[in-house]
């Protein structure tokens, strides 16, 4: 099997519009959660979100093209632009067929769907934009990125809820493994902070309603957590066959060595008892990597700040690692939950933790839930470490 390395990272979320800013603010324990500004949320049960701030798509996209794309596409293009730049990748006529794109989204263009539905209701079918469908459907983030860079290799888009971009990265790992591409631009993007998006998740009773204290609302594993905070953004990695990277003088940031998948076959939203699916997927990833659980020094957890999900993920991690004392943190405490974009963002964060040998904290962890045992959730402050392997969990 061919070895796969990461040579570029592009991250955008509520704590920064560039990777360096995101990483600096995560290590500083800065929350990106605030009152919703993208629409009037005064009638909503949840009025808080982790919005990307001061983002201008015109920095990346021609003005006439902006309205032809949903916000999730804007964010994907921004993150991909940075990832490609930092990797030094050049797509040419010589390599274009071996450079692919795999970028997913859990929901896609909710903003466009809502906008065009309003146009339909107010003006009839003739008021629907001819760009409605291509602006909204999930695969057009990958499509636009491939067109931007001229990447003519595999072109895919996954939609598996909150595991979406973890699947995109893992599947790209396999694509390079098997020689279908030498390079993959992979990850995910999400922009579902809309009246229907927030209202829908609130109707499921999944969201925090700590409206008067937004920065402290996302609190994974804290006794007083009351739901997740919806976030937006994108996380894109440049993944590359090792020898291809060496041949062009690229410096690998990290190597991807294992990928695991599983399904619960249990319930539409609730994890199976004891999170046996989470246990199984970690086992599968470690087996694929041909390492031992005790080799792993850090887990960037799914850790959404929901009462059931956090407890069960803690059980799965504790059951899998046993007596091995593992450091675990949830950066969703700062970024909110990017849904289909979460896995890409958090894989990028995990790569940076390995690069710099420092772990981002779980903030707002003031009273650790007794049901999580004595686990080490890197509470409230970043920590310097010496580790060789790290794992990123995404559950949908």
pLDDT digits (tens, 9 = 90+) for 126-177: 999 999 999 999 999 999 999 999 999 999 999 999 999 999 999 999 999 9
Interhelix angle 195-203/110-123, rounded to 10 degrees, is: 110
Task: Enumerate the H helices of the chain as residue ranges.
Answer: 19-27, 63-66, 71-87, 110-123, 132-136, 140-149, 164-177, 195-203, 242-247, 276-289, 307-321, 332-335, 342-356
Tally of CB atoms within 10 A around 94: 8
d(CA 77, CA 71): 10
d(CA 335, CA 20): 15
Element (H, E) at 207: none
Show which residues are catalytic.
162, 302, 337
* Percent share of the chain, pLDDT over 70: 100
Element (H, E) at 153: none
* Percent share of the chain, pLDDT over 90: 97
User: With bands split at pLDDT 50, 70 and 90, how would you rate the model's confidence at 232?
Assistant: very high
Which residues are within 8 A (CB) of 370 and not within 5 positions of it... i.e. 6 or more apart?
223
- For the chain, the domains span 4-392
Condensed to tens digits (0 to 9), the pLDDT of residues 312-365 reads: 999 999 999 999 999 999 999 999 999 999 999 999 999 999 999 999 999 999
d(CA 146, CA 83): 13
| Two tokens, residue 350 | 């995990």
Tally of CB atoms within 10 A around 42: 7
| Two tokens, residue 355 | 């690069």
| Two tokens, residue 229 | 């905070």
Looking at residue 125, its pLDDT comes to 98
Question: Number of C-alpha atoms within 13 angstroms, CB side, residue 245?
Answer: 24
Torsion of CA 158, 269, 293, 7, to 10 degrees: 30
Which whole number is the average pLDDT over 18-35?
Answer: 98
Q: Is the pLDDT of residue 204 over 90?
A: yes
Distance of CA 107 to the CA centre of its chain: 13
- Distances from the Cα of 297 to the Cα of 36, 84, 175, 328, 343, angstroms: 36, 29, 27, 9, 19
| Total H helices, total E strands in the chain | 13, 13
For 287, list phi and psi in degrees, rounded to 5.
-60, -45
For 58, list phi and psi in degrees, rounded to 5.
-65, -15
Percentages (nearest 5) of helix, strand, coil residues in the chain: 40, 20, 40
Q: Is the pLDDT of residue 373 over 90?
A: no
Q: Which residues pair with 391 in a beta bridge?
A: 299
Kindly indicate whether the domain formed by 4-392 is annotated with CATH number 3.40.47.10.
Answer: yes
73 with 144: CB under 8 angstroms?
A: yes
User: With bands split at pLDDT 50, 70 and 90, how would you rate the model's confidence at 18?
Assistant: very high
For 222, list phi and psi in degrees, rounded to 5.
-80, 145
25 with 363: CB under 8 angstroms?
A: no
User: With bands split at pLDDT 50, 70 and 90, how would you rate the model's confidence at 9?
Assistant: very high
Which residues are within 8 A (CB) of 340 and not within 5 positions of it... i.e. 6 or more apart?
104, 105, 106, 107, 159, 160, 161, 162, 164, 165, 188, 189, 190
For 170, list phi and psi in degrees, rounded to 5.
-65, -40
Looking at residue 274, its pLDDT comes to 85
- Distances from the Cα of 185 to the Cα of 312, 338, 388, angstroms: 32, 19, 24
Tally of CB atoms within 10 A around 307: 14
Closest to 157 (Cα-Cα) out of 284, 282, 72, 61 = 72
Q: Is the pLDDT of residue 273 over 90?
A: no
């Amino acid at each position: 099997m061919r070895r796969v390395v990461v040579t570029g990272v592009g991250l955008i979320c509520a704590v920064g519009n560039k990777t360096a800013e995101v990483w600096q603010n995560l290590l500083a324990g800065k929350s990106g959660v605030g009152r919703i500004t993208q629409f009037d949320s005064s009638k909503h049960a949840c009025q808080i979100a982790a919005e990307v701030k001061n983002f201008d798509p015109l920095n990346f996209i021609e003005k006439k093209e902006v309205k032809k794309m949903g916000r999730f596409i804007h964010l994907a293009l921004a993150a991909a632009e940075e990832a490609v730049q930092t990797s030094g990748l050049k797509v040419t006529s010589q390599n274009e067929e071996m450079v692919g794109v795999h970028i997913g989204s859990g929901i896609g263009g909710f903003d466009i769907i809502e906008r065009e539905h309003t146009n339909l209701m107010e003006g009839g079918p003739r008021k629907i934009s001819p760009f409605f469908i291509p602006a909204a459907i999930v695969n057009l983030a990958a499509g636009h990125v491939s067109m931007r860079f001229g990447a003519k290799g595999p072109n895919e888009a996954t939609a598996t809820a909150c595991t979406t971009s973890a699947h995109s990265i893992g599947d790209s790992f396999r694509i390079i493994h098997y020689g279908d591409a030498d390079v993959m631009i992979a990850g995910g993007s999400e922009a579902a902070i809309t009246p229907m998006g927030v209202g829908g998740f609130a109707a499921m009773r999944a969201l925090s309603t700590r409206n008067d204290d937004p920065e402290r609302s996302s609190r994974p594993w804290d006794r007083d957590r009351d739901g997740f905070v919806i976030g937006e953004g994108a996380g894109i990695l440049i993944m590359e066959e090792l020898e291809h990277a060496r041949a062009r003088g690229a410096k690998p940031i990290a190597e991807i060595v294992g990928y695991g998948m599983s399904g619960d076959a249990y319930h539409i939203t609730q994890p199976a008892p004891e999170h046996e699916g989470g246990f199984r997927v970690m086992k599968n990833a470690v087996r694929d990597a041909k390492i031992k659980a005790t080799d792993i020094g850090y887990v960037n957890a799914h850790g959404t700040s929901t009462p059931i999900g956090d407890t069960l993920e803690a059980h799965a991690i504790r059951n899998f690692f046993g007596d091995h004392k593992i450091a675990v943190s949830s950066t969703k405490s700062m970024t909110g939950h990017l849904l289909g974009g979460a896995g890409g963002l958090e894989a990028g964060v995990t790569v940076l933790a390995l690069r710099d040998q420092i772990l981002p904290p779980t903030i707002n962890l003031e009273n650790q839930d007794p049901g999580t045992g004595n686990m080490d959730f890197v509470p409230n402050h970043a920590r310097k470490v010496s580790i060789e392997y790290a794992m990123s969990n995404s559950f949908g």
